[in-house]
Amino acid sequence: MRRLGLLAASTALSSLACADALNPDLAEMPVSAPRAPLFAQAAPKTDPSALTVVAGPEDLIEFEADQVRFDEESGDIIAVGNVFMRRDGYEVRARQVRINERTGEAVAEGAVEITLPSEERIIAPMVRLDDTLRQAFVENFRLILTDNAQVVAAGGQHDEASGITTLDRAVYSPCVVCENSEEPPVWQIKAVRVVHDRGKRRLTYRNASLEFFGVPVIWTPYFSHPDPTVDRASGFLPFQIRTRNELGIVLEAPYHYVIDESQDLTVTPIITTREGAVIAAEYRRHIGWGEFTVEGSATRTDVNDADGNDTGESEFRGHFSGKGYLNHANGWQSDFDLNIASDDTYLRRYNFSNVDTLVSSYSLQNFIDQSFLSARALGFQGLRLEDDQGLTPFALPLIEAELVAPFRPLGGTWTLGTNALVLTRFDGLDTRRISVYTDWRRRFTLPKGVLFTLDGLVRGDLYNVEDADSPDDPAFASDGGTTLRGIARLTGELSWPLVKRTGSGTHILEPRLHLTVAPNAGSPDDLVNEDSRAFELSDLNILSSERAPGFDLVEEGSRLTLGVDWKYQSANWNTVVFLGQAVRLTGDEDQFDPGIGLTGDVSDLVGRVDVRYKSLFAITHRFRVDESSLAIRRNEVNLQFGDRSESFVQLGYLKLDRDLPFINREDREELRAFGAYQLNERWRLSASAIQDLTGGFDGVDYSVGLGYGDECFEFSVEVRRTFTQDRDIEPGTAVLFQLRLRNLG
């Protein structure tokens, strides 16, 4: 064995508080090494007031103490009170150290605490040193790791050369146990032998048992886990147990394997009592100039008929996904996101995802100053009952480019751009489009703080549509063939921010006037609409020059939009109120569906109210009011009471009354609630509910959960009731249980 340098730590007993109950059962565990040799040295200190003791011709051992005296009869040098020793990063503290001048032996007594350079600590009632002051014998000591987890042992030894500490008849636990308490910790591991390998940064147990509240629940001949210095380590992650009507009891036992510093793999066996096993895996890799993650799952299940009866056949079900980015030369970067599932309900049935559409994409892009070039490919897999994969499009490619001129013509910013799209369906309408545009924009600051922005756009679109007789939705169909469209507009926006400061806060009132001048006609009848189907008027787009989000849908004619913003800010309150409405000056007043909010000469009134008080209260209200009937077409309210980090309640209400004749744009009314209550420092109660109010008071999803967490132990249980029926996904009650032991997974 090599020497172990010892550096004295504080004599205070605070590190021992709430830990006395963590003791090995000496009567039931055999002793293999009753005494533990530890080697000690100390290095010179720069403090001139320190008392220096010479241990040999080469080594100086220094210590500090409140009192030092010499016993001539016994030949002992006795240091008493806050004795401190140091060498090479090792520290020792004790209440008393007695050194015999004749033999060179020394004894440290009274809450001896040894701190290693790794910041781990060894605590013992007494340490006996030999005449070289480099070897110590310790019994009944405590090893405190860097995260304050503890190992208590009857004896052991440390080999400084290998960095291995071996502890006999030991108990490990990261839990805090109150001082002098007879109650055991929440959980602990007892072992005949515990080995801490500082090089591998692991704790290994032989003949070990896991106890909860002093009751053994698991025995194993061998067990290992990383020590607190490890950020990433191989091992089991927290298990998850849940129930589901279709699957029975479901057990997930993920195992995480660290391959090296740049890659790891997680394999998750999923065992179900009704449909066998599912294997899921996730692989992550960082390659220096990029990173990516791939994951997937697979299983074979029985095939049931429409009545749910077993047909005697089996089928493969699974999914695959991958995402990441790559940095190329000269500023180029590519991103990819691939997602595919074997069928519509697999991801929801096995709790992988609740999305109703899978999107796969690849993009290659580059930014040079304010200009950019991007090429993308997009694919979609619809997972809803009404989705037809043959009518689901994929874009190959979608090319976008925008060049911002390095000079400023007429003091403004000039942009030249293009957008090209090839949209293909296996069994339906295909679209080819290329758009070229140029835009000029300049902002002026007028007297009295008035702001004026002038924006001009000229754009040309060339369309080619094939298989027009097979649209995915007749509401967005086209006559087919080749079509050319030209667009021009000039927009001016005038705003006047008015600021008033009071003793309580700041008020900002900003009236806004938005005028767009454009030809009365520009879009041919029945032009295909692929990228603006979800468009409707809202507070987010009413003051935009082009309210539709894509290229296909264009608003014709001139229009005037009025809006007003009022903001109030103080130390505690933050309030925003916005109202806006548009007036059509020229153009067809029926060019949009009535449910969108732009029918007639005057649009619907849109607005938003946002009020916040610190982090304790918030309300956001978005609405759209029909201009003629004053009916509320959109009413969305979100409330929050309390701080999300503590106890809080969130309430949401949504009602849509738009009469839109499009698939998946139906009117609905729903109520959402979610909240959590911090019962005390360790217990937390949560609940959520989604209620469908469209045709009555129908439940959609209810859940209630209870969680506990302390310094060493976490668990949660959640009960969830769903009412959704979708093919092989049935309504029912599910229970989810999760358990995590600190440092073990």
**What is the distance of C-alpha 400 from the center of its chain?**
31
- C-alpha 45/C-alpha 25 separation (Å) is 41
Question: What one-letter code names the amino acid at 239?
Answer: F
For residue 552, give the nearest of 390, 416, 339, 393 by alpha carbon.
393
User: What mean pLDDT comes out for the span 97-126?
Assistant: 81
Range in 226-235, 285-294, 328-337, 701-710 with the lowest mean pLDDT: 226-235
Q: Name the band, by pLDDT with cuts 50, 70 and 90, for residue 655.
A: very high
Q: What's the pLDDT score for residue 527?
A: 86
What totals of helices (H) and strands (E) does the chain contain, helices first?
A: 1, 44
Q: What's the pLDDT score for residue 176?
A: 77
Q: What percent of the chain has pLDDT over 70?
A: 88
Question: Which tens digit of pLDDT belongs to each residue from 241-277?
Answer: 999 888 999 999 999 999 998 999 999 999 999 888 9
Range in 72-86, 289-303, 569-583 with the lowest mean pLDDT: 72-86
Q: Is 197 helix (H, G, I), strand (E, B) or coil?
A: strand
- Is 228 in contact with 210 (CB distance < 8 Å)? no
Query: Is residue 604 pLDDT above 80, yes or no?
Result: yes
Phi first, then psi, for residue 526 (nearest 5°) are: 60, 35
- Is 602 in contact with 642 (CB distance < 8 Å)? no
Question: In whole angstroms, how far apart are CA 612 and each of 506, 569, 617?
Answer: 15, 10, 6
Question: Which tens digit of pLDDT belongs to each residue from 545-582?
Answer: 999 989 999 999 999 999 999 999 999 999 999 999 99
Q: Name the band, by pLDDT with cuts 50, 70 and 90, for residue 307.
A: low
For residue 273, give the nearest of 296, 300, 245, 253 by alpha carbon.
245
State the CB neighbour count (10 A cutoff) for residue 170.
29
Query: Is residue 521 pLDDT above 80, yes or no?
Result: no
Q: What is the DSSP letter of 409?
A: G
Residues near 147 by Cβ (< 8 Å), separated by ≥ 6?
Answer: 174, 228, 743
State the CB neighbour count (10 A cutoff) for residue 219.
11
Question: Which tens digit of pLDDT belongs to each residue from 136-164?
Answer: 567 777 878 777 888 888 877 777 677 78
Question: What one-letter code names the amino acid at 442?
Answer: R
Q: Name the band, by pLDDT with cuts 50, 70 and 90, for residue 447.
A: very high
Identify the residue with better confidence: 228 or 380: 380
Q: What's the pLDDT score for residue 28?
A: 41
* DSSP letter for each residue of 436-492: EEEEEEEEEE-GGG-EEEEEEEEEEEEEEEE-TTS-S-GGG----EEEEEEEEEEEE
- C-alpha 517/C-alpha 411 separation (Å) is 22
Question: Which tens digit of pLDDT belongs to each residue from 403-445?
Answer: 999 999 999 999 999 999 999 999 999 999 999 999 999 999 9
Q: Which residues of 539-557 are buried (b: 16+ CB within 10 A; e: fewer)?
A: bebbbebbbbebbbbbbbb
Q: Name the band, by pLDDT with cuts 50, 70 and 90, for residue 65.
A: confident
Q: Name the band, by pLDDT with cuts 50, 70 and 90, for residue 377.
A: very high
Q: What's the pLDDT score for residue 541?
A: 94
Q: What's the pLDDT score for residue 89?
A: 72
Q: Which residues of 30-44 are buried (b: 16+ CB within 10 A; e: fewer)?
A: eeebeebbbbbbbbe
Which residue, chain included where needed, has tokens 């209200």?
621
- Is 174 in contact with 148 (CB distance < 8 Å)? yes
Identify the residue with better confidence: 94 or 560: 560
Q: What's the pLDDT score for residue 429?
A: 92
**Mean of the per-residue pLDDT values of the chain:** 85
Q: Name the band, by pLDDT with cuts 50, 70 and 90, for residue 99.
A: confident
Question: In whole angstroms, how far apart are CA 58 and each of 6, 61, 325, 494, 630?
Answer: 17, 10, 58, 85, 96
Question: Which tens digit of pLDDT belongs to each residue from 11-25?
Answer: 222 233 344 445 554
Query: Is residue 605 pLDDT above 50, yes or no?
Result: yes
Q: Name the band, by pLDDT with cuts 50, 70 and 90, for residue 60.
A: low
Question: Which tens digit of pLDDT belongs to each residue from 483-520?
Answer: 999 999 999 999 999 999 998 899 999 999 999 999 98
Identify the residue with better confidence: 520 or 310: 520
Per the structure block, which two tokens stand in for 233?
């380590």
- C-alpha 541/C-alpha 530 separation (Å) is 19
State the CB neighbour count (10 A cutoff) for residue 440.
18
Range in 245-254, 337-346, 518-527, 663-672 with the lowest mean pLDDT: 518-527
Q: Name the band, by pLDDT with cuts 50, 70 and 90, for residue 117.
A: confident
Q: What's the pLDDT score for residue 53?
A: 38
Identify the residue with better confidence: 99 or 627: 627
Residues near 425 by Cβ (< 8 Å), separated by ≥ 6?
Answer: 390, 391, 392, 393, 394, 467, 470, 472
- C-alpha 425/C-alpha 678 separation (Å) is 52
Q: Name the band, by pLDDT with cuts 50, 70 and 90, for residue 727.
A: confident
Query: Is residue 632 pLDDT above 90, yes or no?
Result: yes
Range in 55-69, 192-206, 329-343, 577-591 with the lowest mean pLDDT: 55-69
